[in-house]
Structure 1
Amino acid sequence: MRTWSESKNRIFIKTPEPFDFKVNLDYLQRDSNECMYEIEENMIIRVMEINHLRALVRISETDSECLAVEFIAGTKPELLEDKEAVVNYICEWFDFDTDLMPFYESGRQDLLLKPAIERFYGLRIMGLNDLFEGLCWGILGQQINLKFAYTLKRQFVEKFGEHLDYNGKNYWVFPSYEKISKLTAEDMADIKMTKRKREYIIGVAKLMANGDLSKENLLHVDDLKQAEKELIRIRGIGPWTANYVLMRCLRYPDAFPIDDVGLINAIQFVKGMERKPTKAEIRELSAAWSTWEVCYVLSVENAVLNG
């Protein structure tokens, strides 16, 4: 049960334990080229597309273990169902429904995880609510470094997305699959991604526009392996991209992008290895974290990226 209240132009959402707003803000600011939100003075400003409307919100932390969600630019919803949708969106984005305590309690006994857990205590598995955005981000990030992936994302969003203006800034809405499904690869030629990636993104958009692919349908698949198969059958979606989406969007706690370059490099660094670990070695190291693979990946990567 999600606990929230409202007062005037704001909604207050009760945060779970453990949760550290500042630690999550630091994670959200891992690249300055992020275009889906702005972070200023420890506050997040972003557009949320909810039901039939778009709300521009400013998210901050209060002194009473709550997030304050302020509606700005006259975008406050009036209907209760829309306010509840806003609450659900933020709770899903911040992964408030996951009980992290069992992972933390066990993780403190693991020499690989203990330093990261202690330093980043209260970090949630920040997600991507929209399936199309998640799949696009996974495709954009294939075989390139994170910084260039953010550059491609900004180019894509600013060319094909829509935005709300506020105080001289544009706050972007991710391009809709309906719009992208009508494009050709040549329409995206000025975005510095390969032609094959452009084709992959348009192909995903067409599947979603035709109703052959949806978040709702994937959420009704109870088995991780079956959900992975449903995604891998799509052109351009391999095991890494599938597991990334299963982890960040569909919230499978045992999704495991074992080929993730960041994870591989992090384990090599933390373990002091002269070579990259094999898949068998990674599976052995993570064996104790069955059903917590997502937390394992995030913790190990953060130990290096922010250590």
Structure 2
Amino acid sequence: MPAHRSPVWQDDGADLLLPVPDEFSFAQNYDHLATATNEALYTLREGRIRKAIAVGTQATVVEIAPEGQAQLRIRFVAEPNADSPALRAGVAEYVHDWFDLGTDLKPFYKMAKTDPLLRQAVESFYGLRNMGIPDLYEAMCWGILGQQINLGFAYTLKRRYVERFGQALEREGETYWLFPTAVRMAALTAEDLSAAGMTTVKKCEYLVDTARLIASGELTKEQLLAADSVKEAEKRLVRIRGIGPWTAHYVLMRCLRRPDAFPIDDVGLHHSIRHVLGLDAKPGKEQILEWSAGWSMWESYATFYLWRFLY
């Protein structure tokens, strides 16, 4: 398993200062976030990121910006409870997870520099992190919503879902949104979602069913993290109605941080490989397995870097 550091941060009384690894570029991650169309869950402005974050029963809005080359500055936006130790710790941990700051990328870069598929990607996007989705329900919803539709429409559906069922926070005249919780959505029906113009009835059923599994404690991050292998975790997820191998590996990659999660059937991955190698047609699965043989325990990052050529 790749080395992973626990979060540490400094508290200057007002803001939080979160150290970042040498292999980190705020600009690369900011540019990646900027490719999202119609994004509902964060705001980018003048090189700063604003995002609503839930910590237990508390919710806040923070602004994230670079502080030199070695730190991120996290500022609470008009937050009356900003002195809460639990809130401050929870925000620091969330941002650390969101930017995947605990993963040591040195071995990945060493491998990728000699890999025909990855060499150009790591040169172009050095310092990019696999920006994750820390909340399990949010990750699973995004996987479900994105099935068999284009990315632009998926973002439209996500915004509709968030603004209809999520929690709004008002700060300095702006509205920021939290993703709907599993507990909130577990109390609804597929018909409620369908009536709100969400998506197909089947997908609405999948969204509600997943919410009920998580809200009841039948499905947790801890269970999935305890799996002995990525295959075992995948099997646990694909038993859930509406979750296939692609969605399972997407969740394992973006939320559970499984380094060997590999959505090998992803169309975007195929297009990226075709672009890098200048192929006339998309590669087959056997070809991809052969080309990725050297990525062991870095399949997740390899996929994320190749995706970056497209979005």
Please indicate the TM-score interval, normalised by the length of the shorter structure.
over 0.9
Q: Give the count of matched residue pairs.
A: 305
Q: Say which of 231, 242, 249 aligns to 1:243.
A: 249
Task: For 2:255 and 2:74, locate their aligned partners in 1 and report how far apart those are by CA, in whole Å.
Answer: 22
Q: 1:147 to 1:75 in 2, by over 3 A?
A: farther
In the alignment, which residue of structure 2 is the partner of 1:43?
48
The root-mean-square deviation of aligned C-alpha atoms, in Å, is: 1.4
In the alignment, which residue of structure 2 is the partner of 1:30?
35
Matches within 5 A, 1:254-269: 254-269=260-275
Normalising to structure 2: TM-score of the pair? 0.94
Contact 1:204 1:234 in 2 (8 A): yes
In the alignment, which residue of structure 2 is the partner of 1:275?
281
Normalising to structure 1: TM-score of the pair? 0.96
Residue-by-residue CA offset, 1:11-30 (whole Å, 9 max, x unaligned) = 00010120000100011111
Residue-by-residue CA offset, 1:214-257 (whole Å, 9 max, x unaligned) = 11222222321111111000000000000000000000000000
Q: 1:75 to 1:38 in 2, by over 3 A?
A: farther
Q: Is 1:228 aligned to residue 234 of structure 2?
A: yes
Task: For 2:192 and 2:114, locate their aligned partners in 1 and report how far apart those are by CA, in whole Å.
Answer: 53
Structure 1 residue identity aligned to 2:159: R
In the alignment, which residue of structure 2 is the partner of 1:144?
149
Indicate the larger mover: 75-84 or 112-121: 75-84
Contact 2:78 2:172 in 1 (8 A): no
Residue-by-residue CA offset, 1:97-128 (whole Å, 9 max, x unaligned) = 11111111121112221111111000001000
Please state whether the residue corresponding to 1:46 is helix, strand or coil.
strand
Task: For 1:64 and 1:242, locate their aligned partners in 2 and report how far apart those are by CA, in whole Å.
Answer: 35
In the alignment, which residue of structure 1 is the partner of 2:199?
193
Residue-by-residue CA offset, 1:17-49 (whole Å, 9 max, x unaligned) = 200001000111112311001011111111110
Task: For 2:130 and 2:162, locate their aligned partners in 1 and report how far apart those are by CA, in whole Å.
Answer: 23
Q: Extract unaligned runs of 5+ from structure 2.
A: 1-5
Please state whether the residue corresponding to 1:305 is helix, strand or coil.
coil
Structure 1 residue identity aligned to 2:93: N
Residue-by-residue CA offset, 1:53-108 (whole Å, 9 max, x unaligned) = 11210000012510000011124443434322221111111001111111111211
Shift of 1:172: 0.2
In the alignment, which residue of structure 2 is the partner of 1:288?
294
Matches within 5 A, 1:176-191: 176-189=181-194, 190-191=196-197
Q: Say which of 219, 222, 226 aligns to 2:225.
A: 219
Q: Bigger relative contact order, structure 1 or 2, given CA contacts below 8 A and separation 6+?
A: 2
Task: For 1:238 and 1:299, locate their aligned partners in 2 and report how far apart those are by CA, in whole Å.
Answer: 23
Task: For 2:82 and 2:249, locate their aligned partners in 1 and report how far apart those are by CA, in whole Å.
Answer: 34
